Amino acid sequence: MQVVAGKDEVVFIRDDLKAPAWSLDAPLRFLKDANAGRKVAVIGTVSDTTGDSGGTYKKIARKVLECADLAVFVGPNAHRAVRARENEGDNSVQGFPDLRQAAAYLRRELKKGDLVLLKGSHKTDHLARLFLDRIRPIQCWRDRCDKVIFCGACPKLYHHGAEASVAEPMPLQSGVPVFAVVGLGNPGRMFRNTLHNVGCRVLDALARDAGASWKVGPEGSVSDIALGRTRVHLLKPEADMNRNGAMVRRFLERIGSDPEHCFIVHGDADLHLGDVRFKTDGGDAGHKGVGSVIAALGTGRFKRVRVGVRRAGDASKAGRFVLGKISSREDKILVEAVVKAAHIIGDHLQEMPDGETVPAKVKDA
């Protein structure tokens, strides 16, 4: 471990080279025995939890809270750790899908006398940027950097042309909620009936069932529908899957919505063909389209409807099959999945606060 003390009298303890689960005990014992006004543990990716259902990160969070006053998790599994909170008012566990968001939070939160443990995997998390940014604002917040050198020795750290991974978090809107559903895919006729565009198929089903039509908007194809008495804005972004985030943000800003009231529908190669799952928030789990949305909105706190596109027995990378043709048998499976996904969206909207009412000209679903 390495001690790093800043001018603001916040002290960091680095243990950020590697982070298998067994290596957490020693630094946490050190933190527990330390003398400090407040103890904070920042935990990145635990390297041997790949494919975990989420229980491990919840257990880790509880273990961390035995030694620290505040636990901050960073990375695609951070949302799993937040489940360790005792209740809605419990702020002792914080989760951020991206390091830049965690840095912004810690910039506001940390104060004189705090002792902060950084525990993560350098190649995956680059947690050193959390204290380097406090010394001098850095420019590179890139995710998934495979450089083996530490960030402090990287020439791109303060380079103004470096890729920033996320925008400033999009603010929540006050007043009556405005709901939006976005279907991810690629624009163009050639992609229409591919597995890559299953998110758009779900939106087509919602519009068709509501008797609504599509029109061209500034961000892509848009439609307004009614689910019950709630008005819902639909968007199929006119942008490549991996670069659709900017269009999503522009759309939400234009209609007066925000991430909390947005549903993202997308195909998921981690699920078997036809499976449908719902998530309230999280990281991108390697999905570049979702990653683009997180980067543009500055947060992963939006709802997702994931439709499985992985064929049985096919272990190839998603890029090799999501743009291929769909067989008639597979299409029947997807038709059922699309119906299920549409119902899930409707069910969850009914559980949320009342939103915009439906104008008289919009037909009820």
Best CA proximity match to 1, nearest among 9, 13, 11, 12: 13
Q: Note every long-range contact of 315-323, with CB atoms under 8 Å and residues 24 or more positions apart, other chains counting.
A: 318/269, 321/195, 322/194, 322/195, 322/196, 322/267, 322/269, 323/191, 323/194, 323/195, 323/196
**The one catalytic residue among 196, 261, 266, 287:** 196
Instruction: Please give the Cα distance from 260 to 179 (Å, whole number).
Output: 9
Q: Give residue for tokens 């909390």.
A: 260
Question: Is 122 labeled as catalytic in the residue annotation?
Answer: no
In angstroms, rounded to a whole number, what is the distance separating the alpha carbons of residues 351 and 304?
15
Asked if residues 281 and 244 have their Cβ atoms less than 8 Å apart, the reply is no
* φ and ψ of 108, to 5 deg: -80, -35
- Count CB atoms within 10 A of the CB of residue 101: 23
Helices and strands, number each (H, E), in the chain: 10, 13
Report residue 55 as tokens: 């229980």
User: CA–CA separation, 57 vs 45, rounded Å?
Assistant: 10
Q: How far is CA 364 from CA 125, 147, 212, 263, 354, in A?
A: 47, 54, 10, 20, 16
What residues act catalytically? 196
